[in-house]
Structure 1
Amino acid sequence: MEQNRKKTSKPYSPEFRARAVRLVAEHRDEYRSDAAAHAAIASKLGCSPDSLREWVRQAQRDGGERPGPTSAEKARIKELERENRELRQANEILKKAS
């Protein structure tokens, strides 16, 4: 069963995201908590603290510092889900044709 999801654009380039993550890593010790660092740095960059928090967490997963799927693994899962969906549709068409 497919969910109706709104397609959202990614308004921030990979370079912008990498720079934002680097700024958090470089300046984290200047703040009392991760949340405070995310809020302060995000406001300076013009993005949301939640977005910045997710980018930092994904960078940590990609670097092996945090458990969970890496960006490459997430892309592979998405590709396999698409392929699975296409094969199911093809099977339905073949069932109806026979």
Structure 2
Amino acid sequence: MYGDGAIVVVPAFGHTPGSVIVFVTLPGERRYAFPGDLVWQLEGVTERAERAWLLRALADADAEGVRENLLRVAAIAARFPEIALVPAHDARSFAALPWL
């Protein structure tokens, strides 16, 4: 975003048009990924668990796009375990965030 790689915004189509994943590297090399509503709970990535079919039908603009991006995030999480995933609706994930 600023040319130094500290904040990287990546398109993540599927849930809603214009959805993104934001990757943040803080001083000291702490790294985070904010997938927004691509997944609602961490298990969406760790277990590759999609939302229930009714929620997918109601909430996702493109279910196949969500599925593709879910697999991409799971691959990133497996390759880079130092990145803390922070889904938008998983309060447990917020515990990894530093207080500002």
Q: Which has the higher contact order (CA 8 A, sep 6+)?
A: 2
Normalising by the residue count of structure 2, what TM-score does the alignment of the two structures yield? 0.33
Normalized per residue, the structure richer in strand is: 2
Greater Cα radius of gyration, structure 1 or 2:
1
Q: TM-score, normalised by structure 1?
A: 0.34
